[in-house]
Chains A and B, each alone.
Chain A
Amino acid sequence: MIIVDSLTKVYKTGQEHIQALKGVSLNIEDGEFISVIGPSGSGKTTLLNLIGCIDTLDEGTITIDSVTVSKLNDKEQSDYRRHHLGFVFQTYNLIPVFSAFENVAFALHILHVDKKEIVKRTNQILEEVGLKGLEDRRPNTLSGGQQQRISIARALVKKPTLVLADEPTANLDSHTATEIMELMKRMNEHYGTTFIFSTHDPLVMEYANRIVPLHDGLIVDQGVL
C-alpha cells in the first residue's frame, strides 16, 4: 500500500517560487491501476517523481509498504528504486546502443541477477509484451510502440512493487496508445503490480480503475477539469 500524505513541492527558479504540489494526500492499494490526470503544470509529473523517489519533497511523507521512502537518503532511495520500482518514460529512454534484449536485461544486471536467470526472465517478458523475434533489434530500428513495449518490459522484468509511467502514450498514435494501455492493464492484472500513470488523453483514462485529477497542485473533483 502506498500512502501519500500532505505532499508539498516548491520549485525555485531565481526569484520565482512555483508551488507544484500544495499538500496532496492519497492512498493507493496494491494492484491498483491509477491514472493521474490534469492539464500541463498541474503537478502530475511532480507527484510521480516524488512517489518514484527521483525528486525531493519539501513537506509531507510517502510510505510504500510501510517504508517511509521520503525519509531515505540518496543512496537508500537509489537502492529502493533498483529493487522495487519500475519506470516507463514518455520518450522511452532506451539505450540506443543496446538491443531490445540488452535494454530489458539492464534492469536485472544492475540487480546482479544470475546470468541464466537474466536470460530466462528477459526472454519471458519480451514474449509477454509481444516482442518475441525482435530481441536483437536496436531501438532505432523499431516503431514507437515497440520501443515503449521494451520500456514496459524493462520496468516489469524485475517484478517491482510499483510501476510509474509518465505520459506513456504521449508520443504514440491512438491505435498504438490503445495497444500500450491494454498491455499495461494486462501486465497489471497478470503480475498484480500497482501502476500509476499520468496522462491527459481521455482514451487512456478509460483504462484506469481509479482516476486522480490534479489541478494547480491539488487533488480536485474530476468535474473541475
Chain B
Amino acid sequence: MRNLFLLSFKNIFRYTRRTIITASAIAVGMMMYIILDGLLIGAEIESERNMIQYETSHAKIMTKQYAENRLFYDLEYGIQDPDYYIKELHDLGLDATARLLFTGELLFSSSIFEEDGSMEALITAYDPALDATVFDVLGTLTEGRLPLEGREEILLGAWLAEDTYSSVGSFLTILTRGKGGFYEVIDVEVVGIVDPPNPNVSRSLVMIPLDVAQHYLAMEEYATEIDLSIRTKSQQRALNQFQDTLTDSSLLVIPWNELAKDYVALADAKRGASSLILLLVAIIAAVGISNTTLMSVQQRLQEIGMMRALGTKKGMLIGMFMIEAGLIGAMGSLVGLLLGGGINFYFVHYGIDFSSMIRSIDIGYRIQSTLYSAWHPQSFLIAFLFGTLLCSLVAFVATLRSLSLSIPHSLRRNI
C-alpha cells in the first residue's frame, strides 16, 4: 500500500504541466463554488435579518380571521385591547408592540396647493413608544424627526420619498376607509425620512403614529397585529408559555418564515438555481479533469500492461490511478479553497456594492446596498471532498477502460 502511494505521489510530478492544468480546473471550480456559496448564504442571512428587523418581526399575533385574509388588511378583524396582551407578554419577558396596517391612496404634493400624483400604499401605524423594542426602522432616521403622538405626521422610506419627490416638510393626503367602510381623508406632513437596509421597506414604507390612525379609522383600542421580538431561547420558551395560556382562541401566533412564505419560496428557488450553477461548474471541471486523466491513463498504457503482466491486481492498478487523481484533485481543491477563501474574506469584510442594481430591480433578497458574504465551513469540506472524489471517480472510469484492453495490446501501445 505504501508503495502504491509512493508511485501515485511520484506520478503526480511526472507530467507537471498536466497536473497543473487538471489542478487548475478543479481550483477554479472550487473557488467559484466557495465565492458563490458564501455570497448566497450571506445574502440569505442578511435578508433574513433585514426581514425580521424591518419587515415582519420574529412573529406576529393576529386574529384568526385577519390571518386568513391578511392580504386584504381588513380592519373588521383587528385585535381588541392589544395593550392587555402586550402587558402580558412584557410580564413574560417578551418585547412586543402593536401595529395597525391599512391600505390607502397617497396623494402627493410638493406644496399644499399643488398635487403631484397618487399611488396605492400600505400604511403602517406604529406605537412610537414601543416600536423600537421590536423593529429597527426608527433607528434608521436620516432626515427630520420622528412623528409625535397625536399629530398628523408621517415617516417615509428613503426610496419612496425619492421616487415621489417628497422630502421633510412635504404634505400628502391619505385617502382610505375606516372600520365599517366609511371614507376618510387624512392630511399629513412628512416629518422624517428613514433609510432601512431592506429595499422593500425603503421602497414602500409609510408610517403614522398609532393613535392618529386609530382615531381616524375608528379603531380606538384596536390594532391589526402585535409584533414580537424573540432573540433568545428563553424568550421562545416564554412565547410558548404565552400560547399555552392564551384564553382567546381566536388569536394566532405566526412565525416570520410563515409570514414571508413568498420570500422563503423565492430563496429556495434561488438556492435550487444556484445548485444548478454549481453543477455546471462541476461539469466543466469534470470535463477538464476527464480529458487530462484519460490522457494520463492512455499515455501509460504500456506501463499498465507491464504491471498487469507482472501480476499486479486490477484493484491495485485502479487504486493507484484513483489515488493519483485524488491527490491532484485534493491539491486543486486546496488551492481553490485558499483562493475562494481569500476572496470570500474580502467579501465578508468589505462586501460588494449592489446598490445601483438593487435600486432599479427587485432581486427578492432584502439587501439594499452592500452584499456581505458569509463563512460556511461545511461548504469548504464539501468542496474539498467533491474535488477529490470527482477526480478519483474520473480516474476510476478511465482506468477501468484501459483494463478492458488485453495485456499484449497494452504492451504494444506506445504513445
Contacts and interface: CB of A to CB of B under 8 A. Distances in A.
B312 interface: yes
Interface in A16-56: 45, 49, 52, 54-56
A100 interface: no
A91 B10 contact: no
B312 A82 contact: yes
Interface string B316-355: 1000000000000000000000000000000000000000
Contacts of A91: 302, 414
The majority secondary structure among interface residues of chain B is helix
Contacts of B312: 78, 82, 110
B14 A93 contact: no
Interface stretch (B58-66, B139-147, B269-277, B404-412): B404-412
A56 to B, nearest CB: 8
B311 A82 contact: yes
Given A54-B408, A55-B407, A98 B309 contact: no
Interface residues of A, number: 28
For A52, A55, A105, A106, the residue with the greatest tally of chain B CB atoms inside 10 Å of its CB is: A106
For B303, B311, B411, the residue with the greatest tally of chain A CB atoms inside 10 Å of its CB is: B311
A142 interface: no
A52 B309 contact: yes
Interface string A88-100: 0101010111100
Given A78-B313, A82-B312, A89-B306, A96 B14 contact: yes
A81 interface: yes
B310 interface: yes
A121 to B, nearest CB: 15
A83 B312 CA distance: 10
B309 A97 contact: no
A106 B310 CA distance: 9
Interface in B361-415: 406-408, 411, 414
B287 to A, nearest CB: 27
Interface in B117-167: none
B7 interface: yes
Contacts of B309: 52, 54, 81, 87
Contacts, number: 65
Contacts of A52: 309
A85 interface: yes
Interface in A115-152: none
Nearest to A115: B2
Contacts of B408: 45, 49, 54-55
A110 B314 CA distance: 11
A79 B306 contact: no
B360 interface: no
A107 interface: yes
A109 interface: yes
A54 B312 CA distance: 12
A81 B14 contact: no
Nearest to A108: B3
Interface string B297-315: 0000011011011111110
A106 B2 CA distance: 11
B311 A97 contact: no
Contacts of B414: 91
A23 B333 CA distance: 57
Interface in A51-70: 52, 54-56
Interface of A: 45, 49, 52, 54-56, 78-83, 85, 87, 89, 91, 93, 95-98, 102, 105-107, 109-110, 154
Interface of B: 3, 6-7, 10-11, 13-14, 302-303, 305-306, 308-314, 316, 406-408, 411, 414
5 contacts: A78-B314, A97-B10, A97-B14, A106-B3, A106-B7
